[in-house]
Amino acid sequence: MMRKGDGVSEPDRTGQPKRAASRSVVRAMIWATVPVLLLVQLLASAGVEVSSFWSQIRQLDARIARVADSRAELIAEPLWKMRYEQVTSVLNEIMHDESIAAAAVYDDTGVAIARVMARPTGQAVAEVSRPIKYSNGNMAVQAGRIAIAYSYTTLYADTGSRLVLLLVVGLLATLATMVAMRISANIFIGRPLAAMMSAIQRSKQDGRAYPADVHSSNEFGQLARAFNAMQHTTSGALDRLGHMASHDPLTGLPNRRSLTERLVVLSSHAGSHDALVAFCFIDLDDFKGINDTFGHDAGDKFLIHISERLRGAVEAEDWVARLGGDEFVVIRPEVRDEAAAQAFARRLLDAISEPIRLHDKLVMPRASIGLAVRHADDPELSHLPALADIALYHAKSKAPGTVAVLNEALQREYRRRRDLELAIPAGFAEGQFEVWYQSQVDLESQSVVCLEALIRWRHPEHGIIGPGEFLPLIERSGNNVRLTRYVLTDACRSLQRLAAAGKPHIRIAINLPPSELADHSLAGEIRETCERFGVAPSSLELEITEGSLINNIASASETLRRLRRLGATIALDDFGTGYSSLAHLRRFPLDKVKIDKAFISEIPASAEDKAIVGVIASLADTLGLTLIAEGIERAEQVLAMREIGVRFGQGYLYQRPQPLDAALRWLDGRATGEGAANPALADSPSVVPEFAA
Amino acid sequence: MRFLRILLAVSLACGVLTPAGRGVAADARPLNIVFVNPGKTGEVYWDMVSQTMQAAGRKLNAKVEVLTSERNYRTMQELGLGVVARAEKPDFLILSNEESAAVPIVEAAEAAGVKTLLLSNTLIGEDAARLGPPRQKLRTWLGDITTDLTTAGARMANALIGAARAAKWQSPDGRIHILGIGGDEITPASIARNAGLDLAVAAASDVVVDRMLFANWTQSEAEHVTANYLSWASRKGIRPAGIWAGNDPMALGALHAAASAGLSPGRDIQVVGLNWSEDALREIKAGRLLLTDGGHFLLGGWSIVLLRDYADGCDFAAASTHVEVKTSAITRDNLISVSDLIGNRAFDRIDFTRFRAKAGGCGHYDFSVAALISSLSPPNGGGE
């Protein structure tokens, strides 16, 4: 749409914008055509008039000449026959001609026989003179001469008045053309444009596509039809876009965005005052594994299955959504009580848990549900997803595959977790993290061979916090590397202290989080740190978990080899709890295996555990791996281990984790005292079960 | 011209040879003659025609009834047709074919068996060609009696030329310049006179007619055009020698104009006219007018003579059905003889019986001015 930028259309733009816009098209057209039209019309008519003027001049000349000739003929006889009064009257007759100013007849002696004068001669007087020839049967003589003076005044006046008339007619025609153009342009251009603009404005206001109300069959009608078709297409596209924006393309379920709207609807349509809303936050367990194992297409198919099951498991008034990844939400707007909500959530879990066939293999889906129940008029209704997420977190971390109901305890836990997470930077900055040490003992000689570095958080409010609680937070906040370096540095410093204390043979073990194994610079950093503190890398033991090996086999192997080349000892931690692949023991460059305390705690009562540990011991012996049992708390356990052939042990029987100074004192005490069999009671309280021991 | 002169000579000879004055037979039956006069009452020429006709009737035992159409040709036709339709048909009906208005009357008379004679104006042009000569297609049309005005015109011109030559009134170019004034250009009577002028001038190489002007037979218009001519002539350096006028009134107008221009007619310039009018005779007597030709009003009397002879068995057709009568000029020389006749219209002084054709000479008549003068009884006399 064209809009004139100059001031011409300015006064009209105070009205509706679209009218002004359409008017400016018309104006532009009029400004473009009317002056040309007027000019051409005036020039053409002036040209015609001028040529007509010249032709009239010529015609007048010719006419006067003819008049002179005819008068000469009429006058010849009376002149020759000297009827001068007749000559005068004949001459007088021509004075009716307005162009003729004067006329005279002269006889053959040159004397004026007759002379008539109509009016004083004005401008532009021309004269024509003709001989008067008389003849009869016997003779032909020139009897005299006629002279006629005539003026072009009437022609000038006529032409002038015609020009004025043409000008007026031209102006009127131009005016009429302008009016006609304005009217027709308004009808044929302005109106359809306004209709389309109106449709566009309405569409802009509420995002829906309105058709333009134009029914003509001309180009604008075609444009309007094309516009309407486009609007229709746009409308469909907008609908699809709206649907896409609020729905998950894979499962067709509403998405996270819809969830917000849904909650608003729920709160505004709260039925009875005490109606309860059940909010189930569903997370599939180990969906990543399915993707890794069967591929993403199968993963998508799996998700579609799950969504269909959820749809099938709910009532019409319930609402199912997929928030993304493996997260689903089911809202039941009215439940009787919390128990009913729990039952509903469990039914959902049951529905999900039916086996699914993927690539001809039956997969057992498993999910955890965080359930939050609130009154519909609860002002915190919009926080339902977060609340349910708290419960879900709990379920996933404490009891995967179950329903966790949000309660005060969980909320407290959540708030504490959140507090801790926020306090991590301050913890680093203020040195709140401490490395404690727990000794590993040669079960035969009862001598301490190694100290395991264990991280603790001395929180100013919450006191000593165990790694089991805050390590996931550290990992989530991306401070893993920093913490590892922190521990490494502390370990090296402690080695110095041990050496200084005359115990250079005691090594220190550090737990490496899985992410560190993917870091190729780790080996270099360890060497550099050891050099800095003047300790041998061979004094370090690096403990890894099976999980960290599984996730990144090639990279992990390479890192382990580098670390071993430094002289460090590699220990496999928590053996028996994870995948416990015996193949790992062979494939990776390991020196040491730590048997998880779960196998130790029931020993010697449990014959099965003794059998398992025995198998592990014989295998380790075969593979040349050193074995150490975790969680030694009682003396009979020591005996049992020695029977089985496990050389080393670690546990409260000997020493609880302690800050270095305490540990050093404890070591000094052991060295001076004889009671190696009497483990000293740790002077620091154990806050939480050992994370890594 | 030569033919005319021979004709004139023969007629004169006949007149001389024919014994004059033969009485009307006593037993001659009276004739009933009607004349439809085309002219106006008071119109000199036609009044005189009627008067001579009636004077002759009185002498020749004919009752002449004159009907005047007052110059209205429709009236003329109504009068003529009325006469033809009469129960008591006249013996002869005399008509004048002015403006060819007499043709329907002649044709009606043919149907009614009334004998007709055309006077002064006969059939011309298409009518003549269509109806043929007298007594053929129209058996009752006996013939016509007309005047030889061409000879009259020539005679007038020759008189002017003679006088001018005698007075040596040549212009600087050595030629004698004359003005001609005609009555009109269409009537046969006018055309014939003008032709006479042309004939005379054509024969005289030292004479030129500067203009032939037309004055509608009237004195005032003649005076006007003459004045114009004289003015023009003086501008042209021409010495005007004479003025030829087709009738006496125009001659009188020319006289006045000449006098107004400072000329003295009769001494500086000569003027001739035609008609034997009283005014003309007076001007001749005064020496201002050279002559007036004419006497053709006597056609009225002469027509009665022809019809009397015809009725009495001496048919003029023996010579010709077209009887042409010569005019004569009145000059100072013969003025005295005819001035009383004309001045008093004393036509009863004329002895019309003397003009009848002699036995064996039917159709041969002497209507000359000499015969006329010799036929006259003395003034105030009751005739023979």
Q: Give A664-693 pLDDT, tens digit per residue.
A: 888 888 877 544 444 444 444 444 444 433
pLDDT in tens, A112-161: 999 888 766 566 588 899 999 998 877 889 999 999 988 888 888 888 88
Minimal CA separation from B253 to chain A, in Å: 15
Residue A650's contacts (CB-CB under 8 Å, 6 or more residues apart) are A438, A439, A440, A441, A452, A594, A628, A629, A630, A631, A632, A693
pLDDT band at A621 (very low <50, low <70, confident <90, very high): confident
What end-to-end distance do the CA atoms of chain B give, in Å? 38
Contact A82 B225 (CB under 8 A): yes
* pTM of the predicted protein model: 0.49
**Is the CB of B211 inside 8 Å of chain A's CB atoms?**
yes
Whether pLDDT at B10 is above 60:
no
For residues B316 and B324, give the distance between their C-alpha atoms in angstroms, rounded to a whole number. 12
**Is the CB of B218 inside 8 Å of chain A's CB atoms?**
no
Q: For the beta carbon of residue A570, count every other beta carbon within 10 angstroms.
A: 19
Q: For the beta carbon of residue A671, count every other beta carbon within 10 angstroms.
A: 14
Q: What is the dihedral of CA A582, A583, A584, A587, to 10 degrees?
A: 140
**For residue B350, what is the DSSP state?**
B
State how beta strands A276-284 and A140-151 pair. unpaired
Contact B228 A109 (CB under 8 A): no
pLDDT band at A23 (very low <50, low <70, confident <90, very high): low
Q: Which residue of B has its CA nearest to A78?
A: B213
Which one of B225, B229, B232 has the shortest CB-CB distance to A109?
B232
**Least confidently predicted of A60-64, A284-288, A530-534, B289-293:** A284-288
Which CATH number is correct for B150-274, 3.40.1280.10, 3.40.718.10, 2.130.10.10, 3.40.50.2300?
3.40.50.2300
pLDDT band at A474 (very low <50, low <70, confident <90, very high): confident
Say whether B150-274 and B17-147+296-328+344-381 share the same fold. Answer: yes
For residues B292 and B152, give the distance between their C-alpha atoms in angstroms, rounded to a whole number. 10
Q: For B285-331, give the DSSP string.
A: HHTS--EEEE-GGGHHHHHHHHHHHHHTT--GGGT-SEEEEE-EEE-
pLDDT in tens, B175-206: 999 999 998 888 777 899 999 999 999 999 99
State how beta strands A433-442 and A658-659 pair. antiparallel
Helix (H) or strand (E) holding A457: strand A448-459
Which chain A residues touch B if contact means CB-CB below 8 Å? 80-85, 107-109, 111, 138
Which one of A82, A109, A138 has the shortest CB-CB distance to B211?
A82
Helix pair angle (B149-167, B188-203), 10° resolution: 40
Whether pLDDT at A234 is above 90:
no
pLDDT band at B1 (very low <50, low <70, confident <90, very high): very low
Domain map (residue ranges) of chain B: 17-147+296-328+344-381, 150-274
For residues A625 and A452, give the distance between their C-alpha atoms in angstroms, rounded to a whole number. 18
Q: Which of A79, A80, A81, A83 to mutate to test the interface with B (most CBs of B within 10 A)?
A: A81
Q: Which amino acid is at A144?
A: G
User: Of A221-230, A438-447, A553-562, B47-56, which has the strongest mean pLDDT?
Assistant: B47-56
Helix (H, G, I), strand (E, B) or coil at A283: strand
**Is the CB of B232 inside 8 Å of chain A's CB atoms?**
yes
Its CATH class, for the domain covering B17-147+296-328+344-381, is alpha beta
**Least confidently predicted of A406-415, B268-277, B293-302:** A406-415
Minimal CA separation from A83 to chain B, in Å: 7
Over pLDDT 70: what percentage of chain B? Answer: 92
User: Which H, E and C letters describe A351-370, residue by residue?
Assistant: HHHCCEEECCEEECCCEEEE
Minimal CA separation from A87 to chain B, in Å: 13
Minimal CA separation from B240 to chain A, in Å: 16
For residues A17 and A40, give the distance between their C-alpha atoms in angstroms, rounded to a whole number. 34
For residues B371 and B382, give the distance between their C-alpha atoms in angstroms, rounded to a whole number. 19
pLDDT in tens, A283-341: 988 888 888 888 888 888 889 989 998 888 888 888 999 988 889 999 998 888 888 99
For residues B271 and B248, give the distance between their C-alpha atoms in angstroms, rounded to a whole number. 10
Whether pLDDT at B366 is above 50:
yes
**In the structure encoding, which two tokens stand for residue A196, read together?**
């389309």
